[in-house]
């Protein structure tokens, strides 16, 4: 099935037929095509249109990786993995994960905005092309990568009318773009005999640079074409800057930026400069929190943002979470230059305010994580991913902010662990911990979070060392979490008998803390203040341990307690893990219908949170369950396909079944049944078919009802889930 991960176009695409045809031709003969050209010339828009045009030729997907605002080159691989939807849960390098995923895929990778990352991008692209023979890469950059086999296409400005061509202006793409954008800005605008010559001169004066033309079109709100020309040819010539060595067209683009800047009010100019601290998009609350002070009151931010939107300085974006705003990369760079020019010391303080705002944002999200708003918190946090990354980058690169970095990286544990970003979380936590080894509350929290991340990644020895240090220096809440995670490391290391007393100790610590905790929702959120949510998690994990040990009564008791806690809170992420445990018990107790309903409920919830470990565990169990009493070979085919898909997912998250014989039991039993039913040769073929499925296709297949369960008939997935969840107790 064709997969395309490209943003929708919000304005029409004008011209570029020759360039589009050439890109298609180059992609047919070269595996690496780089579009170069000056900023604002339209490389990104052209690449997106070309990628959309050829997407049917790439069944492995067309994937956009926006690198324009990535500052830390060490996060390049993580960023590409995230763009491809690959889970960030393994201790392997991102390059290894990418190679494993792309090795057999006929896919197109669009790396947009590589200019400042040429050095790390070149070896990454070279390695991917060598390891994945069917991969194609399309790059936009002001510099070439200089990778073997690279084909270049210099994207020129749009053609402009010559001095003696005003009569034929309409046939030039620059004029067509300007007129279309002008009509969007001013109702009824059109090219006429009266304005034709002025429009032709304006497009020529702006050298056909699309960004400059679009900025010019917005000026028609307040000026005529002739007035714009007069101002361009007069005083705005002084805004070129950069001296005689700057290329002429870069001077033109800078002139356009300066021209837009000059037409802003003083308040709008100051706000433009301050908004440059945001990376990616931002909302109005963030703009008010970070940018407002005595010079620019919070009450003026809304009007300032609205004015910048009207002038096309700030782009408005509608999202599921509400209205967000974004500065184009070139516009943001210009604002950042003015910020440093106007107030160098204030620029550092503005970045610090940015850190404080997003630390408060993350703290509020963490405090509410074990509750009914989990999916909204996930979506909001993912929308702020680039700003969180920028805040962490500031903390680990500026003296005196290491503890701020530890605090922010630690408070984001729910995002790193629950939403599929373990690799990036480990990156920031390791960096921050290395900068300040002195005992502190922030260090204790970061030790716990890093131990949690490392443990889930399978780095048990490192996780244990961090958690032991955390237990020694942390306050009672952090120490309780450290004991809890030490229990989990023992569990994942198959030391179940050692894990049980540690889990029981953690539960006792949580109970003591919970007895003295203030009611939820009173006062501002406090970092690591929630005890009950982690107590529910510990119950689910201990229920799984006792299930594997065959202690049914204790496991059932823990499941009942955990489900009651989840229902009181309206919690879904922990409940998804609980559904897995109860599904395992239902299968062991001879109730396959209840088991498959619970497993599917677990799978759907984990997929919503991009928790790939939860997804692959549920898929392994569903593969086994579709063989229960199967009357036809197709059920065993389905099981083997799901096992093949799970094998591929395990490769992206670490060691299959965590290397645990207990977690591996459903897989082994399913494989035994399928081999006996359809034979080794067909079983192997079905595994290979499943290995070609991506994450979404795997989940879709596991949630379908292609199997036949004896005595159940064709029970659809929704009915199975409803039946499974109709009873809140386990039937051991």
pLDDT at position 730 is 36
For residue 596 the two structure tokens come to 């498959």
Nearest-angstrom CA–CA distance, 583 and 24: 50
Degrees (nearest 5) of the Cα angle 96, 98, 102? 125
Q: What b/e readout covers 349-385, taking b as 16+ CB neighbours within 10 angstroms? A: ebbbbbbebbbebbbebbbbbbbeebeebbbbbbbbb
Rounded mean pLDDT, 115-140? 93
Say yes or no to pLDDT of 365 above 90.
Answer: yes
Confidence of residue 212 (pLDDT cuts 50, 70, 90): confident
Rounded mean pLDDT, 262-285? 91
Instruction: Say if pTM beats, i.e. exceeds, 0.85.
Output: no
Nearest-angstrom CA–CA distance, 704 and 687: 18
Domains and CATH numbers, the chain: 4-154 (3.40.50.300), 166-262 (no CATH), 344-571 (1.25.40.10), 584-724 (no CATH)
pLDDT at position 2 is 41
- φ and ψ of 65, to 5 deg: -120, 105
Nearest-angstrom CA–CA distance, 720 and 698: 19
**Scanning the structure block, which residue is given the tokens 């035994």?**
672
Say yes or no to pLDDT of 405 above 70.
Answer: yes
Confidence of residue 164 (pLDDT cuts 50, 70, 90): low
pLDDT at position 621 is 94
Rounded mean pLDDT, 237-250? 40
Say yes or no to pLDDT of 247 above 60.
Answer: no
pLDDT at position 151 is 92
Which of 17-26, 461-470, 624-633, 686-695 has the weakest average pLDDT? 624-633
User: Taking the mean position of all CA atoms in its chain, how far away is CA 200?
Assistant: 43
Say yes or no to pLDDT of 304 above 80.
Answer: yes
For residue 564 the two structure tokens come to 């009651």
At 28-62, the pLDDT tens digits run 999 999 998 777 788 888 999 999 999 889 988 89
pLDDT at position 169 is 66
Say yes or no to pLDDT of 244 above 80.
Answer: no
Residue 473 CB-density burial (10 A; 0-12 exposed, 13-18 middle, 19+ buried): middle
Per the CB < 8 A criterion, the answer to whether 165 and 47 are in contact is no
pLDDT at position 235 is 34
pLDDT at position 259 is 66
Say yes or no to pLDDT of 591 above 60.
Answer: yes
Rounded mean pLDDT, 207-216? 82
**Average pLDDT of the residues of the chain:** 85
For residue 387 the two structure tokens come to 């700003």
Where in 228-287 does DSSP place strands (E)? 281-282
Confidence of residue 724 (pLDDT cuts 50, 70, 90): very low
At 491-528, the pLDDT tens digits run 988 899 999 999 999 999 999 987 655 555 556 677 78
Nearest-angstrom CA–CA distance, 134 and 322: 39
pLDDT at position 559 is 93
Higher pLDDT, 245 or 477: 477
Paired with 65 in beta bridges are 111
At 315-334, the pLDDT tens digits run 888 877 789 998 877 788 88
Nearest-angstrom CA–CA distance, 49 and 9: 9
Confidence of residue 707 (pLDDT cuts 50, 70, 90): very low
Task: For residue 143, give the DSSP letter.
Answer: S
pLDDT at position 731 is 37
Three-state SS letters, 661-683: CCCCHHHHHHHHHHHHHHHHHHH
Higher pLDDT, 619 or 223: 619
Nearest-angstrom CA–CA distance, 322 and 79: 24
pLDDT at position 90 is 66
pLDDT at position 50 is 92
* Residue 162 falls in which region: left (phi positive, over 0), alpha (psi -120 to 50) or beta: beta
pLDDT at position 318 is 82
At 618-675, the pLDDT tens digits run 999 999 999 987 767 888 999 999 999 999 888 776 667 676 777 788 899 999 999 9
pLDDT at position 434 is 95
At 530-544, the pLDDT tens digits run 888 999 999 999 999
Neighbour tally for 254: CB within 10 Å:
21
Nearest-angstrom CA–CA distance, 651 and 96: 10
**How does strand 32-36 pair with strand 62-66?**
unpaired
At 430-474, the pLDDT tens digits run 999 999 999 999 999 999 999 999 998 888 999 999 999 999 887
Per the CB < 8 A criterion, the answer to whether 38 and 249 are in contact is yes
pLDDT at position 710 is 35
């Amino acid at each position: 099935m064709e997969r395309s991960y490209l943003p929708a176009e919000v304005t029409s695409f004008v011209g570029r037929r020759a360039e589009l045809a050439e890109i298609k031709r180059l992609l047919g003969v070269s595996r690496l095509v780089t579009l170069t050209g000056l900023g604002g010339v339209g490389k990104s828009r052209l690449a997106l249109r070309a990628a959309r045009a050829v997407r049917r030729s790439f069944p492995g997907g067309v994937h956009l990786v926006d690198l324009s605002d990535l500052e830390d080159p060490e996060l390049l691989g993580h960023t590409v993995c995230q763009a491809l939807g690959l889970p960030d849960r393994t201790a392997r390098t991102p390059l290894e994960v990418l190679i494993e995923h792309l090795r057999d895929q006929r896919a197109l990778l669009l790396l947009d905005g590589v200019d400042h990352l040429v050095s790390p991008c070149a070896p990454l692209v070279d390695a991917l092309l060598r390891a994945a023979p069917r991969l194609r890469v399309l790059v936009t950059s002001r510099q070439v990568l200089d990778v073997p086999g690279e084909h270049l296409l210099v994207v020129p400005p749009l053609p402009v009318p010559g001095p003696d061509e005003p009569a034929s202006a309409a046939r030039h793409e620059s004029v067509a773009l300007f007129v279309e954008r002008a009509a969007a800005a001013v109702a009824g605008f059109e090219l006429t005999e009266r304005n034709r010559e002025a429009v032709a001169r304006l497009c020529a004066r702006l050298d056909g640079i699309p960004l400059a033309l679009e900025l010019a079109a917005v000026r028609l709100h307040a000026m005529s074409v002739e007035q714009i020309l007069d101002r361009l040819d007069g005083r705005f010539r002084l805004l070129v800057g950069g001296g005689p060595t700057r290329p002429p067209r870069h001077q033109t683009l800078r002139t356009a930026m300066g021209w837009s800047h000059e037409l802003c009010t003083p308040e709008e100019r100051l706000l433009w400069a301050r908004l440059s601290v945001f990376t990616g998009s931002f909302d109005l609350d963030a703009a008010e929190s970070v940018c407002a002070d005595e010079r620019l009151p919070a009450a003026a931010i809304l009007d300032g943002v609205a004015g910048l939107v009207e002038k096309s300085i700030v782009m408005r974006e509608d999202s599921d979470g509400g209205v967000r705003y974004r500065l184009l990369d070139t516009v943001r760079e210009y604002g950042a230059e003015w910020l440093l020019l106007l107030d160098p010391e204030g620029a550092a303080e503005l970045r610090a305010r940015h850190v404080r705002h997003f630390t408060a944002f993350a703290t509020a999200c963490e405090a509410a994580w074990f509750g009914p708003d989990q999916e909204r918190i996930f979506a909001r946090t993912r929308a702020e991913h680039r700003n969180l990354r920028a805040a962490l980058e500031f903390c680990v690169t500026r003296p005196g902010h290491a503890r701020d970095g530890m605090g922010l990286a630690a408070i984001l544990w729910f995002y790193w662990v629950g939403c599929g970003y373990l690799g990036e979380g480990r990156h920031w936590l390791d960096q921050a911990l290395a900068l300040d080894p002195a005992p502190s509350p922030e260090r204790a929290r970061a030790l716990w979070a890093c131990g949690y991340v490392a443990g889930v990644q399978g780095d048990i020895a490192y996780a244990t060392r961090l958690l032991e240090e955390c237990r020694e220096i942390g306050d009672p809440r952090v120490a309780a979490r450290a004991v809890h995670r030490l229990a989990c490391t023992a569990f994942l290391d198959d030391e179940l008998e050692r894990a049980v007393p540690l889990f029981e100790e953690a539960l006792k610590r949580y109970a003591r803390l919970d007895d003295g905790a203030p009611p939820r929702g009173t006062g501002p959120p406090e970092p690591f203040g929630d005890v009950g949510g982690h107590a529910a998690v510990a119950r689910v994990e201990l229920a799984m341990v006792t299930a594997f040990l065959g202690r049914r009564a204790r496991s059932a008791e823990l499941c009942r307690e955990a489900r009651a806690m989840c229902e009181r809170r309206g919690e879904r992420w922990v409940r998804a893990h609980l559904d897995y445990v109860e599904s395992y018990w239902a299968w062991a107790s001879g109730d396959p219908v209840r088991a498959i309903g619970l497993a599917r409920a677990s799978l759907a919830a984990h997929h919503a949170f991009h928790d790939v470990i939860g997804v692959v565990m549920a898929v392994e169990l569903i593969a086994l369950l579709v063989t229960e009493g199967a009357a036809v070979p197709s059920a065993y085919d389905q099981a083997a396909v799901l096992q093949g898909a799970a094998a591929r997912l395990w490769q992206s998250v670490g060691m299959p079944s965590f290397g645990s014989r207990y977690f591996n039991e459903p897989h082994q039993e399913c494989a035994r049944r399928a081999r006996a039913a359809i034979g080794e040769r067909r079983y192997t073929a079905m595994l290979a078919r499943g290995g070609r499925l991506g994450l979404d296709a795997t989940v879709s297949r596991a949630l379908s009802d292609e199997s036949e369960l004896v005595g159940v008939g064709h029970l659809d997935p929704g009915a199975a889930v409803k039946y499974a969840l109709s009873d809140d107790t386990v039937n051991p």
